[in-house]
Structure 1
Amino acid sequence: MNTPSRPTDARQTGRSAIQIGALVPLTPPGWVHAGRHLLAGLQLAVHEVNAAGGIAGRPLELVVRDTAADPQKAAAAIDELAGLGVAAVAGEYHSVVARAAAARADALGLPFLCSSAVLDALTEQPTPWVARLAPVQSRGWQMYADFLLGQGHRRIALATQPSVYWAAGAGVLRDHVAPRGGTVVELDMRELTPAAVCDRLVDERATAVLLLVGYPEPAVALVKAVRGDPRLAEITIGAPAGQPEFAEWAAWLGRDGAAVPFLRYLPQHLGPLGDRVSAALHASLAEAPSFVAFEGYDTVAVLAEVLRAHDTDRERIAAAWADVAVEGTRGPIRFSRMPGIGVWQWAWAPIQVVDRDPAELGRFRVLHAG
């Protein structure tokens, strides 16, 4: 499904719009709730840029394409958007999808600012065309492993499904935990029912089980099974990929979904810009905005600044990643080259480990930050 943007901004000014492509998962099997938050952030920032006069008097316009968590759809969308003449492409939530989009953008010479995907190997080779706001998976998941180790967990089980993203995350955890005296055991969800996972957790004497699986299923069924097993009353359920961030998690699981630590990319306290944007996003979403919505807003804020300096010249846009200095909702944004990362990277995006408070599901407790 293609989701067109509203063309009203261009008509209001009488000047041609500067178009930005936006890749967003808006239909299953994509994580639709995440896609809705990402799009809300993108749209709010575009609205504010246009309300302030646009880019040298020209309005911004999003050209939205639904990826539905399909790498082939994302690559095809990049081809289409490049042909339409967009100045750059923004967005995407799913790492494997963003990787396909980044590869195609690199091949076509189209600037791509990735909002949310964290997979370290976003591109096979270094590229000047791609930049990213989300922190790399290795940094976030190592911090998550440090949190678990600090809580005394030395026998950690991973409930896994086949995926480049899950495999990369499992590797980060295994490589970080083992040298520090811990053990990581992988449980293949293709072969095990939730009840069988519970039996294995008991046999392995695991003190934590991490959900490296699809959402809502089998993640929801697995949480319910573990929470309902009296043998596992003391086990910690973790979700480093951030499934509990969204309100639908609490709707699916109720109190069973509380006290499940996960990663989110927000600072301890938002500044004035973050507070203002948070209120506006809350109003448009009719619920508290996730970190993904802030990532969407910051993506357009960066692109708008680059466009003001370099107009729609794609080569000049890509060459400008190194010079970006933008105050985002979650702190100052600058890009650099990190060892082993092939794209321009916001190296110090904030990271927290949080969970939902069992006493108040809508409230998050910060357990660890870095």
Structure 2
Amino acid sequence: MSVQRILIFLLAALLAACGKPEPIVIGFIAGLSNRTTDTGEAARNALTLAIEERNAAGGIGGRPLQLLVGDDGQDAATAHQAMQALIRARPAVIVGPYTSAMADVILPLADAAGVVVLSPVITAMHFVGKDDMLIRLNRSTRDNAADYARVLAERGLHRLAVAYDVRNRAFSESWLAELRSQFPAYGGEVIAAVEFESAADTMFSEVAARLLETEPDGLLFIANAVDVARLAQQTRKLSPNVPLAAAEWAASEQLVELGGQAVNGLLIAQSHDRTNEAPRFTAFRDAYRARFQRDPGYSAIASYDAGIVLFQALERRKSGQSVKDAVLRHGPYPGLQHLIEIDAFGDSTRPIHFAEIRDGQFVLVR
């Protein structure tokens, strides 16, 4: 090789070394243009904050993190298109989705492409115990329904009427099946189950009337925050004092904002303790408030935890190790409120906290 060629080679190598390091692409997919935008936007905000903080600290091995956002619209065709676009960007991982119905759509695409899907919140039983590209950071519907069955029975609610949203059928039917299976052990019975499809023109007054005609001890709604608020409002017009409960899916800030007085007394479970004053959690809460001018809800907290898991796994990942294997092997992970341990199937769990809405606030009751 001539001296001139050697100099050109060395100059090219030097310029490459001085260039900006290639970013690590992190995909994100959630509902950002539909009736569950509250959870999707809060999740995106929290992951954005986590990435900003990590980049300010030097990224991963000197490489910055780049967030690419996809909107599933809570619609199968939209989710399919958004997921394909994310996969083409060759992300290290995709954080999301935030409903089980959308997981049904995007997981086959992730499996085919070999891309890890890190979901902070999905719970449906048919995602549990599977050797696939999905990693879950939440409890299962079996876990949650069992706790609800016990708490509802302790409150004297043994004859329950349930309304459930079939637009997120993968979640709602799994949740209802688990409740029906476990409620009898506590002397409880689901005496009526009324399905509806979430939409702006859904006749919630008719759903409420059908539930109440069975003369139940209480009503349970398996639906998003917007629809639970509307169901509660229609129910209160017909029966002001019937006890209400909702599945954990609805436990966002939007529930109290939209529900008003109608959701007072409603029982709901949450995956975090809002009263927690541990320094790690309060630092996140304060940073989130400063950045987005609102409190973080459950999807925000779970998504920030996903960032914690992802960053530690990528930082400790060995040469040639897949991202999935890194996530499975390099825990446990120090979540905001609990230690996150992930099993060989990519399943995890979280504590659960029951709250009652009182005067526009979630008040822990157990």
**Category of TM-score, reference length = shorter chain:** 0.7 to 0.9
Separation of aligned partners in 2, 1:259 and 1:220: 13
Asked if the contact 1:244/1:260 (under 8 Å) is kept, the reply is no
Between Structure 1 and Structure 2, the one with more helix by share is: 2
Per-residue CA shift, 1:166-194, capped at 9, x if unaligned? 11111111111123321102342559954
- When residues 179 and 40 of structure 1 are mapped into structure 2, their CA distance, relative to the original with a 3 A threshold, is same
Q: Where in structure 2 are the equivalents of 1:2-21 lying within 5 Å?
A: 14-21=20-27
Once the two structures are superposed, the pairs formed by residues 179-328 of structure 1 within 5 Å of their partners are 179-190=185-196, 194-213=204-223, 216-217=226-227, 219-229=228-238, 232-246=239-253, 248-267=254-273, 269-310=276-317, 316-323=322-329, 324-328=331-335
Give secondary structure in 2 for the equivalent of 1:304: helix
Q: Deviations over 1:35-75 (max 9, x none)?
A: 11000110111011111111111101111111111233333
**Cα drift, residue 287 of structure 1:** 1.5
Q: C-alpha offsets along residues 120-155 of structure 1, whole Å, 9 cap, x if unaligned?
A: 2127x8224221112212111211121101111110
Flag the structure with larger Rg: 2
C-alpha spacing 1:40/1:312, structure 2 compared with 1 (3 Å): farther
Deviation string for 1:258-309 (max 9, x for gaps)?
Answer: 2211121114625211110011112222111101111111111111111112
What SS class does the counterpart of residue 276 from structure 1 fall into? helix
Q: Take 1:305 and 1:293, find their aligned partners in 2: how far apart are those partners?
A: 19
Which letter maps to 2:174?
A
- Find the aligned partners of 2:158 and 2:89 in 1 and give their Cα distance: 53
Instruction: Label 1:297 to 1:193 Cα distance change in 2 as closer, same or farther (>3 A).
Output: closer
Consecutive unaligned residues in structure 2, runs of 5 or more: 1-18
Change (3 A) 1:85 1:190: closer
Q: Is the 8 A contact 2:161 2:220 kept in 1?
A: yes
User: Structure 1, unaligned stretches of length 5 or more?
Assistant: 1-12, 338-342
Between the aligned partners of 1:105 and 1:22, the Cα distance in structure 2 is 13
Whether contact under 8 Å (2:145, 2:182) holds in the other structure is no
Is 1:86 the counterpart of 2:95 in the alignment? no
Secondary structure, aligned partner of 1:89: strand
1:252 shift after superposition: 2.1
Correspondence for 1:333: 340
Distance in 1 between residues matched to 2:84 and 2:212, nearest whole Å: 50
Alignment match, 1:168? 174
Distance 1:116 1:185 in 2: 29
The correspondence of residues 18-167 of structure 1 with structure 2, limited to 5 A, is 18-29=24-35, 31-122=36-127, 126-162=130-166, 163-167=169-173
CA drift at 1:196:
4.7
Distance 1:165 1:89 in 2: 20
Query: Which consecutive segments of 4 or more residues in structure 1 shift more than 6 A?
Result: none
- Asked if structure 1 preserves the Cα contact closer than 8 Å seen for 2:232 and 2:262, the reply is yes
Q: In the TM superposition, what is the alpha-carbon distance from 1:195 to its structure 2 partner?
A: 4.6
- Asked if the contact 1:160–1:186 (Cα under 8 Å) also holds between the matched residues in 2, the reply is no
Q: Residues 154 and 90 from structure 1, CA distance in 2 versus in 1: closer, same or farther, beyond 3 angstroms?
A: same
CA contact (8 A) 2:223 2:250 kept: no
Q: 1:51–1:33: structure 2 CA closer, same or farther, 3 Å change rule?
A: same
Query: 1:308–1:228: structure 2 CA closer, same or farther, 3 Å change rule?
Result: same
Q: Which has the higher contact order (CA 8 A, sep 6+)?
A: 1
Tell me, in whole angstroms, the C-alpha distance in 2 between the residues paired with 1:129 and 1:244. Answer: 27
Q: Percent of aligned pairs with the same residue?
A: 22
Structure 2: how far apart are the matches of 1:266 and 1:346?
Answer: 15
Contact persistence 2:26–2:67 (CA under 8 A): yes
* Structure 2 Cα separation of the partners of residues 194 and 112 of structure 1: 34
Shift of 1:240: 0.9
Q: Give yes or no for contact 1:22–1:89 (8 Å, CA) kept in 2.
A: yes
For residue 247 of structure 2, what is the amino acid of its counterpart? P
Structure 2 CA distance for partners of 1:214 and 1:90, relative to 1, 3 Å: closer
User: 1:344 aligns to what?
Assistant: 346
Equivalent residue letter for 2:354: V
Give the equivalent residue in structure 2 for 1:367: 365
